Amino acid sequence: MSTETLFAPPPPVTAAIVGHRARFPVHRIYCVGRNYEEHAKEMGFTGREPPFFFLKPADALVPLEAGQTGSIPYPSLTKNLHHEIELVVAIGRGGRDIPAADALSHVYGFAVGLDMTRRDLQNDMKKQGRPWCIGKAFDQSAPMGPIQPADGVGDITRASISLTVNGQLRQRSTIDKLIWNIAETIEHLSAAWTLQPGDLIFTGTPEGVGAVVPGDLLVGSIDGLATLAVRIDGA
Ligand code: MN
């Protein structure tokens, strides 16, 4: 079989790892919807429902180095670009039908991520019962800081998570407020897809989502992880 390709294959998507020269090769980006109660409420939903998932393409990732302030363009088509600060789980060992009790052994590490969202387009699609892709899976929609290996993090479930925009606090919560915790999320996700090393899971955002405009500086923090700083480029 020929290994020649018609044109150059896309370069691999990789993320920085704190304290390592080697980089984390990214396979897929899974995202969990409405996984904090107060955010579900602000989006008009109440009650615990089974977790649901969507994906972003791996090359939507904007991987940042420790200490770097990155930038993303203000995307096309939208007039309502929203920030969603999220804990990202990096999978180091794959598997399917992983029970929650074993799930944390599949985790390589954690990072701070932003699930940037074209909210107006997402809402249009929701209303029509159509897929969310255009609202969620656009180019450069997933800025993420370097991955901190899990053994250096301590108890992530007790961490606080927050986002400021131009120094003003917009989102603040704690990881223990996840409706479906990390282990339960991996159990549900691995029942639907075979997880692979290199998969990233954006675990959902707490309340306080809102719009950003060109020039805004977003700074996301989770205790124990490298801070994520991203500027929205001018139009
Ligand atoms: Mn999200």
Q: Are 230 and 72 in contact (CB under 8 A)?
A: yes
C-alpha–C-alpha distance, residues 62 and 66, integer Å: 13
Q: Are 202 and 31 in contact (CB under 8 A)?
A: yes
Whole-number Å distance, alpha carbon 33 to ligand 1 midpoint, is 6
Q: What is the mean pLDDT of the chain?
A: 96
Mean pLDDT of 144-152: 96
Whole-number Å distance, alpha carbon 130 to ligand 1 midpoint, is 18
Whole-number Å distance, alpha carbon 34 to ligand 1 midpoint, is 7
Mean pLDDT of 84-98: 98
Whole-number Å distance, alpha carbon 97 to ligand 1 midpoint, is 23
Whole-number Å distance, alpha carbon 48 to ligand 1 midpoint, is 17
Q: Residue 129: pLDDT above 80? A: yes
Contacts of residue 169, defined as CB under 8 A and 6 or more positions apart, other chains included, come to: 162, 163
pLDDT band at 89 (very low <50, low <70, confident <90, very high): very high
pLDDT value, residue 234: 80
pLDDT band at 32 (very low <50, low <70, confident <90, very high): very high
Whole-number Å distance, alpha carbon 31 to ligand 1 midpoint, is 6
Whole-number Å distance, alpha carbon 139 to ligand 1 midpoint, is 15
Whole-number Å distance, alpha carbon 6 to ligand 1 midpoint, is 36
Q: Got the DSSP string for 71-127?
A: EEPPPSS-S-EEE-EEEEEEESS-BSS--HHHHGGGEEEEEEEE--EEHHHHHHHHH
Whole-number Å distance, alpha carbon 134 to ligand 1 midpoint, is 14
Q: Residue 235: pLDDT above 60? A: no
Q: Residue 208: pLDDT above 70? A: yes
pLDDT value, residue 168: 98
Whole-number Å distance, alpha carbon 4 to ligand 1 midpoint, is 39
pTM over 0.95: yes
pLDDT band at 43 (very low <50, low <70, confident <90, very high): confident
pLDDT value, residue 183: 97
Whole-number Å distance, alpha carbon 63 to ligand 1 midpoint, is 17
Q: Which of 98, 76, 95 is nearest to 194 (CA)?
A: 95
Mean pLDDT of 119-130: 96
Q: Residue 31: pLDDT above 90? A: yes
